[in-house]
């Protein structure tokens, strides 16, 4: 069970908890049921449903394609300059090319509906926990449920702008929307009010919210506040970043170990991870992390680089912009095994860097493979299961906090300084290069309209679910001035309408809730 385990849903035995039917008396029968119900809320990021990888909590959603982590990862990465997918599914072509509309699209539905499912579960939980037995830590469990709900609403705010808003205190069959600035304020208020009720950083259970997780989510919100509200909050971003940095996290010595099958158990890796989405090959089976690891490999290439898996889906691979953002022994003729920056974990045999004919059906020939995530442990042994990886996803980690601090300082936030910002970036680059010869200076940090910081975030955080949000913050996501392969559905890339900075509210919800208004342009 989650709350007594060392990883989040790895040892879970959760029970059904459907907030649309009257099951509260059964679901909240004793102290243990409150632990299981809280575990269920956490698990929605990793699991499609109660009945293994083939089951879905939401009957209209495919159990494989719409796991919340997988859908969110797809929207945050596949739409950007870091990733393209070789599959021919209609939804895949739309996501590759930023050409989606209001027609039902699986990743869009997956993020929207499963985040709203977290909201529903949390609301039901918060209505019931005041009646919990005395042995339940009501204050902490309440704070954790509210954190999970706040994270879901942040995700909805980031991707959809103005989702329907409902809590345990304003229940409605047809909830109205909350505009982005008001939702931002509500999430901020929730997070600041629950923080003291959570364990201090690294003193709780791995995989569960603590004060550092709250600060990390606040830091991400504050860094992007100008997008969400029109008001910059860089000083606040610096403040919470400093609190995280002072709370005992350390950079992992080996970048690659952050993305291996034992990253949750390896103290040399989890020392950097602030809040993960946890996976386990035996007890947390879904096509979440499985889609990332199997989807980024081909069965025809297994003999080249083992990954602890038994299949490959010929799907996700890197773009030319991603690959060329790294340094090589010969930058005019890059080779994966001659990369100088060891954060770039690529495979290039029989592949061109450029995607020159089509993004569809060219997985093993056009575009380098990205092997950042693996189901191998740090000792080289495979994970427990060759289909369902053990690899946790680090949703928040110290490396990102360093870069958020640096960017907030460079953008004029107060309470930090350029010298410290440069030291943080250099710590990341020294880990990447293994030397100090590639360290940066103050002029590097500030020049070129901060493009160097954006590029450094790409090198450090590629395929970690932040790229879409980063490009929007820099004004480049829809811009005709920054192009990449298949942007706008054109091979060489074109600018697109600014409506694509958010996704449409799914028609599956619009059609049943007359209080909802569609996002502008859709």
Cα 369 to its chain centre, rounded Å, is 20
The count of C-alpha atoms lying within 13 angstroms of the C-alpha of 99, restricted to the half-sphere facing its C-beta, is 15
Share of the chain above pLDDT 70, in %: 95
What's the rounded Cα separation, in Å, for the pair 239 and 241? 5
pLDDT at 231 over 50: yes
The token pair at 450 is 């901060």
pLDDT category at 302 given cuts 50, 70, 90 is confident
pLDDT at 1 over 90: no
Mean pLDDT of the chain: 94
pLDDT, tens only, 502-513: 999 999 999 999
Over residues 42-53, mean pLDDT:
94
Share of the chain above pLDDT 90, in %: 92
Q: Which residues contact 23 (CB under 8 A, 6 or more apart)?
A: 16, 17
Task: Round the CA-based radius of gyration of the chain to a whole number and report it.
Answer: 22
Degrees, nearest 5: CA angle 222-116-504: 75
The token pair at 52 is 């293994």
Helix 138-160 / helix 211-223 crossing angle, nearest 10 deg? 20
In this predicted structure, what is the pLDDT of residue 6? 29
Over residues 450-460, mean pLDDT:
98
What's the rounded Cα separation, in Å, for the pair 485 and 80? 9
pLDDT category at 515 given cuts 50, 70, 90 is very high
pLDDT category at 303 given cuts 50, 70, 90 is confident
Least confident of 26-30, 113-117, 381-385, 432-436: 26-30
In this predicted structure, what is the pLDDT of residue 2? 36
In this predicted structure, what is the pLDDT of residue 24? 58
Q: Domains in the chain, ordered, with CATH? A: 1-197+478-522 (1.25.40.390)
Over residues 303-309, mean pLDDT:
93
pLDDT at 205 over 60: yes
In this predicted structure, what is the pLDDT of residue 51? 87
For 23, 79, 116, the CA distances from 328, given in Å and listed in that order, are 59, 26, 44
Strands 369-370, 346-347: pairing is antiparallel
Between 86 and 52, whose confidence is greater? 86
pLDDT category at 29 given cuts 50, 70, 90 is confident
What's the rounded Cα separation, in Å, for the pair 157 and 515? 17
pLDDT at 19 over 60: no
Separation of first and last alpha carbons in the chain: 44
Over residues 315-340, mean pLDDT:
98
pLDDT at 4 over 60: no
pLDDT at 23 over 60: no
In this predicted structure, what is the pLDDT of residue 25? 61
In this predicted structure, what is the pLDDT of residue 26? 65
The token pair at 119 is 């909201």
């Amino acid at each position: 069970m989650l709350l007594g385990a060392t990883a989040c849903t790895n040892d879970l035995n959760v029970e059904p908890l459907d907030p649309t039917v009257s099951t509260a008396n059964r679901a909240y029968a004793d102290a243990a049921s409150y632990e299981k119900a809280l575990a269920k809320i956490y698990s929605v990021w990793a699991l499609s449903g109660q009945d293994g990888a083939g089951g879905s909590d939401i009957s209209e959603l495919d159990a494989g394609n719409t796991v919340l982590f997988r859908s969110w990862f797809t929207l945050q990465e596949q739409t950007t300059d870091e990733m393209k997918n070789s599959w021919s599914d209609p939804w895949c072509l739309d996501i590759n090319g930023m050409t989606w509309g209001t027609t039902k699209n699986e990743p869009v539905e997956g993020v929207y509906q499963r985040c709203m499912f977290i909201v529903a579960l949390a609301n039901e939980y918060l209505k019931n926990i005041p009646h919990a037995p005395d042995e339940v830590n009501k204050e902490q469990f309440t704070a954790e449920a509210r954190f999970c709900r706040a994270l879901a609403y942040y995700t909805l705010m980031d991707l959809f702008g103005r989702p329907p808003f409902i809590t345990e205190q304003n229940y409605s069959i047809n909830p109205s929307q909350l505009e982005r600035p008001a939702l931002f304020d509500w999430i901020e208020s929730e997070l600041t009010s629950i923080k003291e009720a959570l364990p201090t950083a690294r003193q709780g259970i791995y995989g569960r919210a603590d004060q550092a997780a709250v600060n990390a989510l606040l830091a991400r919100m504050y860094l992007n506040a100008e997008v969400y509200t029109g008001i910059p909050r860089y000083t606040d971003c610096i403040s919470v970043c400093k609190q995280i940095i002072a709370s005992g996290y350390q950079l992992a010595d080996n970048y690659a170990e952050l993305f291996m099958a034992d990253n949750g158990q390896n103290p040399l890796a989890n020392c950097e991870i602030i809040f993960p989405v946890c996976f386990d090959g035996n007890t947390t089976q879904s096509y979440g992390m499985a889609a990332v690891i199997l989807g980024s490999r081909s069965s025809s290439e297994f003999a080249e680089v083992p990954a602890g898996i038994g299949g490959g889906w010929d799907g996700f691979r890197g773009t030319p912009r991603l690959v060329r953002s790294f340094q090589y022994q010969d930058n005019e003729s890059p080779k994966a095994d001659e990369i100088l920056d060891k954060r770039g974990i690529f495979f290039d045999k029989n592949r061109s860097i450029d995607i020159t004919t089509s993004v569809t059906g060219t997985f093993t020939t056009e575009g380098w493979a990205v092997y950042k995530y693996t189901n191998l442990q740090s000792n080289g042994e495979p994970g427990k299961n060759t289909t369902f990886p053990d690899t946790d996803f680090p949703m928040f980690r110290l490396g990102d906090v360093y870069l958020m601090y640096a960017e907030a300082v460079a953008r004029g936030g107060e309470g930090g300084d350029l010298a410290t910002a440069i030291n943080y970036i250099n710590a990341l680059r020294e880990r990447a290069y293994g030397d100090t010869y590639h360290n940066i200076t103050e002029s590097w940090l500030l020049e070129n309209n901060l493009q160097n910081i954006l590029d450094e975030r790409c090198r450090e955080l590629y395929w970690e679910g932040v790229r879409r949000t980063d490009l929007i913050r820099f004004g480049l996501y829809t811009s005709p001035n920054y192009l990449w392969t298949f942007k706008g559905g054109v091979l060489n890339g074109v600018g697109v309408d600014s409506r694509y900075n958010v996704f449409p509210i799914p028609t599956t919800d619009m059609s049943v809730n007359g209080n909802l208004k569609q996002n502008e342009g859709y």
